[in-house]
């Protein structure tokens, strides 16, 4: 080899000495150099699937630009031409009407643990092909040109081997980091929504699937109740049961949905993992590369399957935590929200109403002669009275209304976007429902006890713009009703107006 060729190959070696994250990145850097060294107009790189006798075009460099392409070409691996090409490493193309040569690339690629265990080998040979083209018919490739191309191909093959080893090690490190990140999510996040969104984001960020999806099942019915999907953009999209995206997405992934649901399944581009805990199915994780068509590696399958039990445990713990939170927010006897929970919602409603110029009403009530009921019939019957009144309230409020057991037999209800007159009508209806409510007679020796309630109402912002002022004025209206015969209702504004007239 001449000194000029040695110098050229050394320059090429130095140009490729940097670190490349992928073989595509390496090729994008190498092809322009080869085109320059070989005085070529165009270079195409093909992967060679020797098993299926297919070469797949991946990258083309022409006129200073690199293009990623996909085109499969069948070759007869047993033909004399192909066998000679494998021996020589270079061959001229007879199919084109301008000078072009095929140059062989051959490198070692590491195998994943599954293939290593199966074959007993840690690596295997991979093949690629460069097609180097000159568009002018009188610029054919000389023997010296071909020798240079063979030298460049050898250097590039060595770098392909190093890059794929680096890719493999990086992927292994990425999996370990991903599992570590997920472990931190499990340790720090207890709210169900926060937990599952963070889990999906971390999986998607680390494994880079086209989509990562979680289908949560209802704990009672076992049916899909919640769907979360994260794409490469990292945004979590949430769908409820019945949304079109649910069935449409599943139908794209599973020909037979029940098959996907019943057991772990994996194809080249879709992985489905049921999340089970103590023979209870909590949901299904589905990972797919249906858009990019990139195969899902067995290493990724193993990592995610091993971690699926911890994901299931995290979801179960988050659900349990939310259940405990929910129970701690509600009074066990009346099933009404506790005062702390009510106060949080009260503050939010004040903020919302101030911002959007809304009106809401606050109603405070207590059960007439409740102390006498306890003294006469006992506290067990008093508890039944509280449960009955609370049930009437729960069954006759809108979903947006917020009741609360404020203390003893006092109950406060917040009515968003409700005027004082509207709240008076609600108070009348509640009083009537309480009046006709049936109480158990086993505590009263057969005596039929009729209940009544007294109610006072304040209105935001007219009677106050802070929680304490609104509660105090509703209580003042309630006190007025109790001082004037009980079993009725009153607006604080009406009482204040009447007091002004009486002065």
How much is the pLDDT for 321? 60
Torsion sign (Cα): 132, 136, 137, 142: negative
Helix, strand, coil distribution of the chain in percent, nearest 5? 50, 25, 25
Tens digit of pLDDT for each residue in 36-55?
999 999 998 988 876 667 77
Q: Which residues pair with 442 in a beta bridge?
A: none
- Ranges of beta strands (E only) in 6-122 are 42-49, 54-62, 65-74, 90-92, 100-110
Q: Which residues contact 183 (CB under 8 A, 6 or more apart)?
A: 310
How much is the pLDDT for 51? 66
* Cα–Cα distance list, 455 to 348, 427, 483 (Å): 24, 7, 12
Tens digit of pLDDT for each residue in 328-378?
678 888 888 888 888 888 998 999 999 889 999 999 999 999 999 999 988
Q: What pTM, to 2 d.p., does this model score? A: 0.44
How much is the pLDDT for 257? 36
Q: Tokens 């070989």 map to which residue?
A: 38
Q: Tokens 């490469």 map to which residue?
A: 232
494 burial type by CB count under 10 A (0-12 exposed, 13-18 middle, 19+ buried):
middle
Which is it for strands 453-460 and 489-491: parallel, antiparallel or unpaired? parallel
Own/partner long-range contacts of 462-468 (Cβ < 8 Å, ≥24 apart): 462/420, 462/493, 463/492, 463/493, 465/350, 465/354, 466/350, 467/343, 467/346, 467/347, 467/350
Tens digit of pLDDT for each residue in 196-243?
777 788 778 777 888 888 888 877 777 777 888 888 888 888 775 444
Q: Tokens 């595509």 map to which residue?
A: 24
* Per-residue confidence band for 323, with pLDDT thresholds at 50, 70 and 90: low
Tens digit of pLDDT for each residue in 426-481?
999 999 999 999 888 787 777 888 999 999 999 999 999 999 999 999 999 999 99
160 burial type by CB count under 10 A (0-12 exposed, 13-18 middle, 19+ buried):
buried
* Cα–Cα distance list, 74 to 52, 55, 59, 104 (Å): 8, 6, 18, 16
* Cα–Cα distance list, 323 to 185, 190, 198, 227, 319 (Å): 20, 11, 20, 20, 6
Query: Does 2 have pLDDT greater than 50?
Result: yes
Domains of the chain: 3-167 (3.30.450.40), 189-324 (3.30.450.40), 339-502 (3.30.70.270)
How much is the pLDDT for 264? 43
In the three-class reduction of DSSP (H, G, I as helix; E, B as strand; rest coil), residue 452 is classed as coil
């Amino acid at each position: 080899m001449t000194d000029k060729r040695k110098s050229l190959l050394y320059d090429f070696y130095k140009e490729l000495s940097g670190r490349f994250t992928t073989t595509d990145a390496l090729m994008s850097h190498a092809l322009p150099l080869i085109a320059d060294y070989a005085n070529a107009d165009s270079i195409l790189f093909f992967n060679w699937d020797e098993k299926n006798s297919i070469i797949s075009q991946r990258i083309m460099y022409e006129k200073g630009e690199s293009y990623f392409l996909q085109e499969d070409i069948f070759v007869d691996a047993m033909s004399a031409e192909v066998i000679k090409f494998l021996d020589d490493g270079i061959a001229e193309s007879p199919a084109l009407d301008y000078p072009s040569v095929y140059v062989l690339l051959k490198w070692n690629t590491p195998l994943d643990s599954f293939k290593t265990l199966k074959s007993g080998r840690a690596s295997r040979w991979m093949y690629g092909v460069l097609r180097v083209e000159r568009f002018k018919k009188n610029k054919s490739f000389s023997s010296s040109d071909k020798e240079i191309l063979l030298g460049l191909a050898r250097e590039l093959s060595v770098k392909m081997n190093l890059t794929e080893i680096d890719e493999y090690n990086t992927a292994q490190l990425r999996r370990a980091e991903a599992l570590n990140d997920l472990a931190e999510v499990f340790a720090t996040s207890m709210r169900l929504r926060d937990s599952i969104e963070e889990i999906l984001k971390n999986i998607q960020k680390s494994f880079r699937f086209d989509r990562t999806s979680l289908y949560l099942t209802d704990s009672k019915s076992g049916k899909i109740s919640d769907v979360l999907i994260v794409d490469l953009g990292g945004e979590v999209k949430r769908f409820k049961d019945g949304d079109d995206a649910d069935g449409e997405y599943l139908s794209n992934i599973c020909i037979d949905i029940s098959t996907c649901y019943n057991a772990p399944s994996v194809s080249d581009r879709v992985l489905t993992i049921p999340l089970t805990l103590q023979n209870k199915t909590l949901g299904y994780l589905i990972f797919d590369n249906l858009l990019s068509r990139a195969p899902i590696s067995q290493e990724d399958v193993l990592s995610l399957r091993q971690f699926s039990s911890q994901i299931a445990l995290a979801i179960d713990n988050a659900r349990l935590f939310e259940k405990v939170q929910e129970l701690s927010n509600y009074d066990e006897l009346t099933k009404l929200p506790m005062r702390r929970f009510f106060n949080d919602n009260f503050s939010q409603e004040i903020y919302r109403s101030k911002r959007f110029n809304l009106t809401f009403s606050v109603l405070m009530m207590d059960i007439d002669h409740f102390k006498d009921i306890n003294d006469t019939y006992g506290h067990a019957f008093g508890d039944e009275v509280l449960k009955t009144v609370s049930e009437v309230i729960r069954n006759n409020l809108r979903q947006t209304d917020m009741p609360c057991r404020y203390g003893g037999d006092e109950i406060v209800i917040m009515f968003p976007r409700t005027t004082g007159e509207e709240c008076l009508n609600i108070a009348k209806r509640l009083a009537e429902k309480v009046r006709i409510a049936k109480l158990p007679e086993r505590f009263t020796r057969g005596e039929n006890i009729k209940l009544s309630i007294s109610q006072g109402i304040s209105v935001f912002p007219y009677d106050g713009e802070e929680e304490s002022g609104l509660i105090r004025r509703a209580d003042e209206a309630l006190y007025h009703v109790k001082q004037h015969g009980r079993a009725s209702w009153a607006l604080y504004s009406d009482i204040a107006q009447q007091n002004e007239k009486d002065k």
